[in-house]
Amino acid sequence: MKIAVIGTGYVGLVAGACLAENGNDVICVDKDAAKVRALQRGRIPIYEPGLEELVRRNRMERRLTFTTDLSKGVKGSQIVFIAVGTPTGEDGSADLRHVLDVARQIGKAMNGYKVVVDKSTVPVGTADKVREAIKKETSHPFSVVSNPEFLKQGAAIEDFMKPDRVVIGADDQRSAEIMKELYAPFTRTGAPVMMMDPASAELCKYAANAMLATRISFMNEVANVCELVGADVDHVRRAVASDRRIGAAFLFPGVGYGGSCFPKDVKAMMKFASAKRYDFEILQAVENVNERQKVRLFGKMTQHFGSLKGKRIGVWGLAFKPKTDDMREAPAVPLINALLDAGAAVSAYDPEAMKVAKGIFGAGVAFADKSYDAASGADALALVTEWNEFREPDWMKIKKAMRTPVIFDGRNIFNGEQLRGLGFTYYSMGRR
Ligand code: NAD
């Protein structure tokens, strides 16, 4: 099939490359000329495992091309994906500016029947708005389909190639059949293709993300209570997770959720519910708990040191989660800002997010070339993002490098007993 993907970010680029990998001709469009130039030269602007190789292979086969010319992309395609950002607007709702701008441009470029597919995460009713925006510009026939994306950064290719489910919100047979055919190669292993109306499809994505965020905040509260009553969250988590009705995923306490999706989707869901005079109380609590949790490690540091003025804190992990360079809403940001405000010096290390972090903190933070360098001369080392390479470090080397051997483990990945045995002071989240 001939496909255009508008927006070449974490979702658009992965979707484009994976669709090309299954034999489609894909043209990826982005308004960011520098990004498109880099992609045309085979350089990938983001870090996502396996993506570079996938893009390279499909570019070489000429199934995957890149352009800033939206009109060209639309004219040559039967299916047009919208995969642009839907950031949080000033009032907390999803800002649809980019989506509707693209819809208008698609309308202007129409030269025959197209299926316009909304892959961006958008509130209920957006398919209608997209339809209206296109209709104003063209008399050609078209369908608008809602097809939310559930990939996880860090495992995006695997998730796209082998999805748990594909959700398609279509209200006409023609576009429904085209979408089913498009996704057939991705669902051969038996993943369900769930056909529904566009409103339900739009809501699915918010409900899924809100549920995941709720589990995280819930478990963070359980961990906080564990600390107060002298229980160990590891035991509690394992026992709770073994209940088949609950399951083990997304029950790890930590420093709060971040990223480009959970915070904005929780906010947007509250907002579109309240627009219908529905107060989504749980989500307000989920968000409040998360904001508190993001500075909890800082609270533990203050409690330990009294004043942080003049202290040097090493930070391991900056990205909002492992295997990505994405720092949008990353818990490392409020932590580092709080440390700097308190007069501490910060030396930080992340395997992939250093370039992005330099753009955020500039010269305010010392960036270490290697993980161990971040611990050098430090009064404490804080683990913020649980990259695999941090899991089994040489503790004696670290202890020697540090000024005082204090560890704040924001993700509960270290063995407290072992560390205390080696002479470290060790703090974690909800463990005894
Ligand atoms: P992103 O910011 O990484 O990428 C968006 C891209 O769209 C950018 O490259 C931007 O230049 C481009 N763009 C914006 N306006 C444009 C226009 N008018 N014409 C052409 N290009 C334009 O965003 P993302 O993380 O890929 O997210 C995209 C959407 O997918 C969002 O709605 C998000 O909520 C949703 N989503 C994201 C994830 C994720 O893990 N990142 C997962 C599922 C769904």
The secondary structure of 186-246 as a DSSP string is GSTTS--EEEE-HHHHHHHHHHHHHHHHHHHHHHHHHHHHHHHHT--HHHHHHHHHTSTTT
Contact indicator for 81, 3 with CB cutoff of 8 Å: yes
Would you place residue 172 in the very low, low, confident or very high pLDDT band (cuts 50, 70, 90)?
very high
DSSP state of 315: E
Give pLDDT, residue 110. Answer: 98
Give pLDDT, residue 407. Answer: 98
Contact indicator for 319, 255 with CB cutoff of 8 Å: no
The best mutation among 10, 44, 86, 116 to test binding of ligand 1, ranked by most ligand atoms within 8 Å of the C-beta, falls on 10
pLDDT at 378 over 90: yes
Q: What is the pLDDT of residues 324-336, one digit of tens each?
A: 999 999 999 999 9
Within 10 angstroms of residue 68's Cβ, the number of other Cβ atoms is 17
Whole-number Å distance between alpha carbons of 115 and 209: 26
Domains 2-196 and 206-292 share a fold: no
Would you place residue 22 in the very low, low, confident or very high pLDDT band (cuts 50, 70, 90)?
very high
pLDDT at 234 over 90: yes
pLDDT at 432 over 90: no
Q: How far apart are the first and last CA of the chain?
A: 57
Long-range contacts, 54-61 (Cβ 8 Å, 24+)? 54/17, 54/18, 54/21, 54/157, 55/13, 55/17, 57/21, 58/17, 58/20, 58/21, 58/26, 61/20
Q: Is the CB of 373 under 6 A from ligand 1?
A: no
Place of tokens 């639309």: 74
Where are the chain's structural domains? 2-196, 206-292, 294-427
Please state, in angstroms and as integers, the Cα–Cα distance from residue 87 to each residue in 21, 203, 264, following that order: 29, 17, 7
Q: Is the CB of 93 under 6 A from ligand 1?
A: no
Whole-number Å distance between alpha carbons of 36 and 179: 27
Q: Does the domain formed by 294-427 have CATH 3.40.50.720?
A: yes
Mean pLDDT for the stretch of residues 207-224: 98
Q: Is the CB of 326 under 6 A from ligand 1?
A: no
User: From the CA of 4, how far away is ligand 1's center (Å)?
Assistant: 14
Give pLDDT, residue 134. Answer: 98
pLDDT at 32 over 90: yes
> Dihedral of CA 155/158/164/169: which sign?
positive
User: From the CA of 326, how far away is ligand 1's center (Å)?
Assistant: 13
Q: Cite the beta strand spans of 265-355 per DSSP E.
A: 312-316, 345-349
Among residues of the chain, what percentage have pLDDT more than 70? 100
**How do 2-6 and 79-82 pair as beta strands?**
parallel
DSSP per-residue string spanning 145-168 = EE------TTSHHHHHHS-S-EEE
Contact indicator for 40, 66 with CB cutoff of 8 Å: yes
The best mutation among 6, 35, 260 to test binding of ligand 1, ranked by most ligand atoms within 8 Å of the C-beta, falls on 260
Give pLDDT, residue 162. Answer: 96
User: From the CA of 61, how far away is ligand 1's center (Å)?
Assistant: 25
Reported as type and span, the H/E element at residue 364 is none
Q: What is the pLDDT of residues 335-375, one digit of tens each?
A: 999 999 999 999 999 999 999 999 999 999 999 999 999 99
Give pLDDT, residue 189. Answer: 86
Amino acid found at 103: A
Give pLDDT, residue 410. Answer: 98
> Can you say whether residue 222 is alpha, beta or left, with left for phi > 0 and alpha for psi between -120 and 50 degrees?
alpha
Known catalytic residues are: 261
What's the mean per-residue pLDDT of the chain?
97
Whole-number Å distance between alpha carbons of 380 and 309: 13
Among residues of the chain, what percentage have pLDDT more than 90? 99
Return the CATH number of the domain spanning residue range 2-196: 3.40.50.720
Q: By C-alpha distance, which of 197, 206, 162 is closest to 176?
A: 197
Give pLDDT, residue 397. Answer: 97
User: From the CA of 9, how far away is ligand 1's center (Å)?
Assistant: 5
Whole-number Å distance between alpha carbons of 344 and 377: 13
Reported as type and span, the H/E element at residue 270 is helix 262-274
Would you place residue 428 in the very low, low, confident or very high pLDDT band (cuts 50, 70, 90)?
very high
Give pLDDT, residue 108. Answer: 98
How many H helices and E strands in the chain?
A: 18, 14
Whole-number Å distance between alpha carbons of 169 and 203: 10
Mean pLDDT for the stretch of residues 278-307: 97
The best mutation among 6, 18, 30 to test binding of ligand 1, ranked by most ligand atoms within 8 Å of the C-beta, falls on 30
Q: Is the CB of 212 under 6 A from ligand 1?
A: no
Chosen CATH of 206-292 out of 2.40.30.10, 1.10.1040.10, 1.10.260.40, 1.10.10.10: 1.10.1040.10
Mean pLDDT for the stretch of residues 253-269: 97
